[in-house]
Structure 1
Amino acid sequence: MRISDFPVPDTAAARGARTLAVEYQSPAITAHAIRSWLWAEAFAVVEGLADAVDHELLYVAALLHDIGTVTEYDNHTIAYEDAGGHVAVALTAGAGWDAARRRRVHEVVVRHNWPSVDPEFDVEGHLLEIATGLDISGARPDALPAEFLREVLDAYPRGTLAEEFSACVLDQAARKPTTAARRLVDGGVVRKLQENPLERLR
């Protein structure tokens, strides 16, 4: 398994998602988003789900799943994943996606913060949830080949992710205590970031 096994979709929506991620997010958060996409694609292969995946939708959702945390897109009344999902809806509307597919990208972004997602219910939501679980909390680090983990980490280093995301989610939890950010903080996400086994593969 190599990065080259997972080509970036050559579409207006994919290019737009990458542009928004790079222009609005920090390098560490954008690298997290790209790694999350690659982990999701790799999990799809490992779990035999690759043929069931809308790969363009998964890419867009992965690149934008945390964009609701940046100042320009932060919403003071709703969860950051919900706000980010609406950014993805706006982007994909401009790319010509129909209403049903736009709803799907919003759902996938929101569900990445669910405790778990059944792949039979939402395959892309499942993949993004377990991918971000690996990159943030260190869940299932042995599920993907070690050589692939190292290749991705070399190409897209973790940098200051632990510090940045900890500060971000603590802020979100304090301002929006009824959202998933509060559950993440209460579940020890700050400690999990620091102890993530991927940090030791740098």
Structure 2
Amino acid sequence: MFPETPTAAAALSVATRFYSPALLNHCTRSYLWGTLYATAHGIAFDDELYYVSALLHDIALTQAFDSHRLPFEEAGGQLAWVFGVATGWPEERAARATEIITLHMRDDVSAATDPESHLLQVATSWEVVGRRPEEFSPDARAEMLARHPRLGFGTEFLACFEDQARRKPDSAAAASVRNDVAGRIAANPLEGHPPA
């Protein structure tokens, strides 16, 4: 189900230590939604690289790794580079994790151009605001949420974005807040799923 490499195990250790349960489950689901989408669309991707990027994509929303100045996706991307190099990845591979995490808050990237960034964009936009609901069947949703429940994710995530927006008004998170991310989170079909 998950890649079994030392780097993947280290990413899970970091995520488990620093995320709240809701954010940890969100990052896990982001990986899993992306793999479901990739399978459905025949998208080949680097599983370990995508897993590490998915697990660490919100790490700079945590108190330990929040940056005063950088948008969370840029700070998290830089931390992923440090993490990757520290676990033995070549610098070029670590730089890909930086790119994937940074791009998940940018304009859409095509699967042909960058499959891992595309998967993280699809998965996180589904997770947060319910984009592309037709891609994820009711059965898949129910099974995912039974295994990895939301645990109040929408409320917690909105608070993180509102905090980012206050302190970093030029960030993508701030733009999302101005673009009614609160309403879009509330309308997400995943938010209305009964608790497991």
> Which category describes the TM-score, using the shorter chain as reference length?
over 0.9
Tell me the equivalent position of 1:172: 164
* Corresponding residue to 1:140 among 132, 143, 150: 132
1:144 Cα deviation from its structure 2 partner:
2.1
Q: Offset of 1:58 from its aligned partner?
A: 0.4
2:177 aligns with 185
SS in 1 for 2:191: helix
Preserved CA contact (<8 Å) 2:22 2:153 = yes
What code does the residue aligned with 2:88 have? G
Alignment correspondent of 1:104: 96
Determine the C-alpha separation between the residues in 2 that align with 1:76 and 1:199.
Answer: 30
Output aligned runs, 1:1-202, within 5 Å. 7-49=1-43, 52-202=44-194
SS at match of 2:133: coil
Indicate the percent of aligned positions where both proteins have the same amino acid. 38
Of 192-201 and 36-45, more deviation after overlay is shown by 192-201
Deviations 1:178-201 (A, max 9, x none): 111111111211111111101223
CA distance in 1, matches of 2:149, 2:100: 25
- What TM-score do the two structures reach when normalised by structure 2? 0.95
Aligned structure 1 segments of 4 or more residues deviating by more than 3 angstroms: none
Q: Contact conserved, 2:154 with 2:191, CA < 8 A, in 1?
A: no
1:62-112 Cα offsets, whole Å, 9 max, x none, are 001001111111111111011111221111112211111111000001111
Q: Amino acid of the residue matched to residue 139 of structure 2?
A: E
* Structure 1: gaps spanning 5 or more residues: 1-6
Which stretch shifts more, 88-97 or 53-62? Answer: 88-97
Structure 1 stretch displaced more, 131-140 or 181-190: 181-190
Distance, in Å, in 2 between the alignment partners of 1:83 and 1:158 is 25
SS of match in other structure, 1:139:
coil
1:60 deviation in Å? 0.3
Q: Work out the CA distance in 2 between the residues paired with 1:100 and 1:115.
A: 23
Please give the root-mean-square deviation of Cα atoms over the aligned residues, in Å.
1.1
- Size of the aligned set, in residue pairs, is 194
> Could you report, residue by residue, the CA deviation over 1:105-126 in whole angstroms, capped at 9, with x for unpaired residues?
0000111111311222211001
- Could you tell me how far 1:142 is from its partner in structure 2? 1.8
User: Match for residue 3 of structure 1?
Assistant: none
User: Partners of 1:144 and 1:82 in 2: how far apart?
Assistant: 29
Calculate the TM-score normalised by the size of structure 1. Answer: 0.93
CA contact (8 A) 2:15 2:24 kept: yes
| Unmatched segments (≥5 aa) in structure 2 | none
